[in-house]
């Protein structure tokens, strides 16, 4: 009887309304759809990496040296089809950009003409940080500078870290070429036509092995458990998005299934394409 009384008393206490001293949490406001990034539609296919993004670990380990004074580069005479002041400015820019960089190159006379193909400040890149560019690539100096940073501070150290191999050669599938995009017969002029792009098909190592973009990118290697090269290629492709404004390769479109295309195209509002 006593036990029954106690049980009834306990039940009565549980069923009582909340005491005045209990804390009542405020009702949460509904989340605004605009403030929810998941609900935001993706309006553009281009990506613009955040400028404050941290550099890759491999690059963070190799801090760039302070920029030295411009170097003396003796370009061959002549302006080609370019105004004198444009050539002088471009060649001065080369002297500043290339100072202190480990690039083996030959200065070139201006290529092409204003309003058409070419560039007023051109060099022939033969090697970067001891890595041969085969065949040598005709490039403007802004592209040469970006290539140096990518190869010396990413491709080379990542090859060492992830494959245990020393990078010795980057195979140039296409550099300067006066043509439209994707080798079309009309349309927009290619960045290759401005000596502002490079296509890379294969990377070679000191042990006489090589990594082929076409053969080593696919998921096949992952299936059979030898995905080392695939991971390496994915990593340097991702790093390239920091250095270049366009990075295309296998999976981007039907034109880039067998090589990486990298360029420094200038777009409105600084948009980049990293696909
Ligand atoms: Zn290309």
Distance 133 CA to ligand 1 centre (A): 16
pLDDT in tens, 56-108: 555 545 555 566 788 889 999 889 899 999 999 999 999 999 999 999 999 99
Strand-pair partners of 113: 81
Distance 55 CA to ligand 1 centre (A): 25
| Distance in angstroms (rounded) separating the CA atoms of residues 176 and 76 | 18
| Distance in angstroms (rounded) separating the CA atoms of residues 211 and 83 | 43
Label residue 231 by pLDDT band (50, 70, 90): confident
Q: What is the SS3 assignment for 136?
A: strand
More confident site: 1 or 169: 169
pLDDT of 236 strictly over 90: yes
Percent of the chain with pLDDT over 90: 55
Distance 176 CA to ligand 1 centre (A): 9
pLDDT of 269 strictly over 70: yes
HSE-up of residue 48 (Cα within 13 Å, Cβ side): 10
Distance 183 CA to ligand 1 centre (A): 9
Distance 205 CA to ligand 1 centre (A): 23
Segments making up each domain of the chain, as ranges: 43-66+125-274
Distance 59 CA to ligand 1 centre (A): 25
pLDDT in tens, 195-215: 999 999 999 999 999 998 887
Distance 199 CA to ligand 1 centre (A): 5
Distance 118 CA to ligand 1 centre (A): 15
| Distance in angstroms (rounded) separating the CA atoms of residues 144 and 165 | 24
Across the chain, the runs of DSSP E, i.e. the strands, are 103-108, 111-112, 118-119, 122-128, 131-140, 167-174, 197-205, 210-212, 246-248, 260-263, 273-274
Helices and strands counted in the chain (H then E): 8, 11
Distance 211 CA to ligand 1 centre (A): 18
Token pair 């150290």 is found at 157
Distance 172 CA to ligand 1 centre (A): 10
Q: Burial, 158: exposed, middle or buried (Cβ in 10 Å; 0-12, 13-18, 19+)? A: buried
Distance 265 CA to ligand 1 centre (A): 12
Token pair 């404004």 is found at 245
pLDDT for position 224: 67
List alpha helices for 106-171, DSSP H: 141-150, 156-158
Distance 248 CA to ligand 1 centre (A): 8
pLDDT in tens, 141-183: 999 999 999 999 999 999 999 999 999 999 999 999 998 888 7
pLDDT for position 204: 97
pLDDT for position 248: 95
Distance 48 CA to ligand 1 centre (A): 20
Please report the sign of the dihedral spanned by the C-alpha atoms of residue 235, residue 156, residue 160, residue 221: positive
Distance 263 CA to ligand 1 centre (A): 8
Percent of the chain with pLDDT over 70: 72
Distance 32 CA to ligand 1 centre (A): 43
Distance 255 CA to ligand 1 centre (A): 9
* DSSP 8-state symbol, 61: H
Q: What is the SS3 assignment for 142?
A: helix
- Vertex 124 angle, CA 119 and 126, to 5°: 155
Mean pLDDT of the chain: 79
């Amino acid at each position: 009887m006593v036990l029954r009384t106690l049980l009834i008393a306990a039940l009565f206490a549980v069923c009582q309304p909340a005491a005045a001293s209990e804390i009542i949490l405020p009702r949460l406001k509904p989340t605004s759809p605009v403030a929810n990034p998941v609900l935001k539609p993706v309006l553009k296919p281009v990506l613009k990496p955040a400028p404050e993004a941290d550099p890759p670990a491999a690059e963070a380990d190799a801090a760039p040296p302070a920029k030295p004074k411009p170097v003396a580069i003796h370009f061959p005479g002549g302006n080609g089809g370019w105004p004198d002041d444009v050539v002088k400015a471009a060649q001065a820019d080369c002297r500043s950009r290339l100072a202190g960089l480990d690039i083996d190159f030959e200065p070139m006379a201006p290529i092409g003409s204003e309003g058409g193909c070419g560039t007023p400040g051109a060099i022939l890149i033969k090697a970067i940080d001891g890595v041969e560019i085969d065949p040598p690539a005709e490039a403007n100096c802004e592209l040469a500078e970006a290539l140096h940073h990518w190869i010396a501070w990413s491709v080379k150290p990542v090859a060492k870290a992830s494959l245990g191999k020393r990078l010795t050669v980057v195979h140039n599938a296409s550099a300067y070429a006066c043509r439209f995009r994707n080798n079309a017969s009309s349309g927009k002029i290619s960045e290759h036509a401005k000596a502002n792009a490079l296509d890379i098909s294969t990377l070679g190592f000191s042990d006489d092995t090589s990594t082929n973009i076409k053969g080593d990118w696919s998921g096949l290697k992952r299936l059979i458990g030898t995905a080392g090269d695939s991971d390496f290629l994915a990593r340097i492709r991702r790093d390239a998005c920091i250095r270049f404004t366009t990075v295309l390769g296998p999976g981007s479109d039907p034109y880039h299934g067998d090589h990486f295309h990298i360029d420094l195209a200038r777009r409105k509002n600084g948009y980049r394409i990293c696909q």
